[in-house]
Amino acid sequence: MHVAAQQSALARLRRLAATRTMIQQLGLAEADYRGREFRDHPRELKGCNDLLSVTQPEAIVAIHRAYLQAGAHIITTNTFNANAISLAEYGLADRVRPGVSSAGS
């Protein structure tokens, strides 16, 4: 890759990163976080970004593709807080199981 192309790719990645998270840019509502799987869940789920790997997988794939198209060579899963302590805030601690962090891969 030429220097100019590398600089262009780096600039695109910086623009993506500067938005804090691309999930927030989606402007998802409570119903989007719930999906069909959790529509009757008794607690609010908006903000539980890890849940989107289950309820909105196409959105997570689109975000990963955007980073790759911008020049990223490595992307990570959307499972940073997929653990019992973090998910307890949403009443989902019982949904954590061994290997859950591989769900967003």
Q: Give the residue extent of every domain in the chain.
A: 3-102
Residue 105 has pLDDT above 50, yes or no: no
pLDDT tens for 14-67 read 766 654 578 888 999 999 999 999 999 999 999 999 899 999 999 999 988 988
pLDDT tens for 67-81 read 888 888 888 877 778
- The pTM score is 0.73
**What pLDDT, on a 0 to 100 scale, did the predictor assign at position 102?**
47
- CA–CA separation, 52 vs 21, rounded Å? 13
